[in-house]
Structure 1
Amino acid sequence: MGPSARRRQRHRHASAAVHPRLAPGPADAGARRGLHRRHLRRPGRRLSMTLVADEDTPQTPGPPQPETGRLGIGLVAGTAIVGLILGALLGWLVFGQSSPADDSVEAGFARDMTEHHAQAVEMSLEVLQTTEDEGLRALATDIASTQGNQLGQMEGWIRQWGLPMARPGDRMDWMGEMEHAMHLVEGAPMAGMANPEQMESLRTAEGEAADVLYLQLMTTHHIAGVEMAEAALDGGVDGEVRRLAAAMVNGQESEIELMLGMLEVRGEQSQEQSGLTVGVAEQGEPMDHEDMGHGEDDPADHADDTGHDG
């Protein structure tokens, strides 16, 4: 084979390497160029050749795209801002153009009940670490979940109203005369709440003793919670605040009856039945079994506010 033939042979090998998927064509270079042009004019072949080149060509990461990154961050920030605006708009739609005043019943109820609920959640989480009773476990789980959600809702209201969490006066001032009819355990921050010694006893108690103490403390806690919610209803709260207060009355009165039954099965009594706390009884008289957990209003009176009974 002469020099010219060897050069043509090498050229054919190089072409086949570049385009391995092309059908063999004439040896003439001009004819091959015409064949390649015909394939490139066909859209299907253009895609096919691109794919072949991708398979044979090592992939290297492209340069960073700063503009795209900044755009993504901007979209995320924009979405967050829109969310804040929508949240503020929702608060305006729910509570109207004017928010409750700092010393209003709505603000007092939300602040005090937030603190009250926080202890109920804490007590429930404590007993969940020790109890082996499935019924009590279900009750404590429900209380922790329900009151935790309500707590977050009330904190959200306070932020939407543009008010501080700190009170302008004393706890429960917003309740007026009803506050004075409620029993405050020495050292407890609010009516119905356990004091530090009682909380420590709950943390260290075990087995049946822990179950009984939880039921006693939570019954007292719920009785005061019902009275606080009824004070809000009597104070003329409207809208979402009224619906939540009514749901608390219905739900917690139902749980009070359940806890009294659990204590009775264990041969125990609530603190109110034992006369250890006065609860919300008038003139310092301990509440009896029939009165416990019920204020002056029947929970059915508030059913229209919630659409359910808690």
Structure 2
Amino acid sequence: MGNEGDDRDVTAAPPRTPRGVPLPIAAFLVILALVGGFLANRPGHPLDSSADAGFLRDMSAHHAQAVDMAMIAYDGSDESVLKTVSYDIARTQQAQIGRMQGWLVLWGLGARGTQPPMAWMAGHGHGGGGEVPDRMPGLATDEQMDALEAASGVEAEILFLELMIEHHKGGIEMARAAVDTASEDVVVDFARGMVTAQQSEIDLMNDMLVERGAEPVDD
């Protein structure tokens, strides 16, 4: 009985050691941590002088005038379709102002930059071959805004549609420049969507001009 007849080689099991991470995996994790630390400390947003920031600031100002124009038309007209279109423009562009300003805040950038307005468009095939434009494309003058406020009836509706179409055309020019020059995907996608939406509104407003006996605004 017992183990006397058992000729198996019974030896003590090697002492158990803590299960560590294999060296190749450990080295990979160290490299990953270093890369992660670099990315975490790298600037994660556009610079103050970037096309992204310039576009968001200038388009916010551009949209603000469109909101003013649309509300003048909304308050001054009794025609249901024009009131719907003008209110939709005001609501949409005010919401877009909020988004654009929100991105600037997220990136730690101010609503106003150190560069003059429209500087981001210079040198990219926009704004006169490298020169900063004197005015934002499509922006109505003070005299045109005064005329819109003073007009009434169909005359006011036609003037609003004409001014807003020109305003949208300018906005499309700015948005296309942003598609070409911005580096943030959210800004590029936003600008690209703006081109499509505003061109659709231009087509609608040109139809409304024809319905009122006026000539459509050429593209």
Same fold (TM > 0.5): yes
Q: Which residue of 2 aligns with 1:253?
A: 199
Q: TM-score, normalised by structure 1?
A: 0.53
Q: Which residue of 2 aligns with 1:4?
A: none
Q: TM-score, normalised by structure 2?
A: 0.74
Name the CA distance, whole Å, in 1 between partners of 2:182 and 2:143: 36
Q: Which runs of 5+ in 2 are unaligned?
A: 1-41
> Please, which of 135, 158, 170 is the counterpart of residue 224 of structure 1?
170
Question: Which runs of 4 or more aligned residues in structure 1 lie more than 3 Å from their structure 2 counterparts after TM superposition?
Answer: none
Q: Which residue of 2 aligns with 1:179?
A: 127
Whichever residue aligns with residue 167 of structure 1, its letter is G
> Please, which of 124, 127, 148 is the counterpart of residue 70 of structure 2?
124
Report the CA distance between 1:267 and its aligned residue.
1.9
Q: Which has the higher contact order (CA 8 A, sep 6+)?
A: 2
Report the CA distance between 1:170 and its aligned residue.
2.3
Q: Which residue of 2 aligns with 1:17?
A: none
Larger radius of gyration: 1
Matched, 1:109 2:60: no
Report the CA distance between 1:97 and its aligned residue.
5.1
Q: Which runs of 5+ in 1 are unaligned?
A: 1-95, 274-288, 293-310
Alignment of 1:1-310 (within 5 A): 98-176=44-122, 177-180=125-128, 189-270=135-216, 273=217, 289=218, 292=219
The alignment yields a C-alpha RMSD, in angstroms, of 2.1
Name the CA distance, whole Å, in 2 between partners of 1:244 and 1:138: 24
Name the CA distance, whole Å, in 1 between partners of 2:70 and 2:61: 15
8 A Cα contact 2:50 2:182, kept in partner: no
Aligned length: 174
Report the CA distance between 1:171 and its aligned residue.
1.7
Whichever residue aligns with residue 115 of structure 1, its letter is A
Report the CA distance between 1:237 and its aligned residue.
3.1
SS in 2 for 1:179: coil
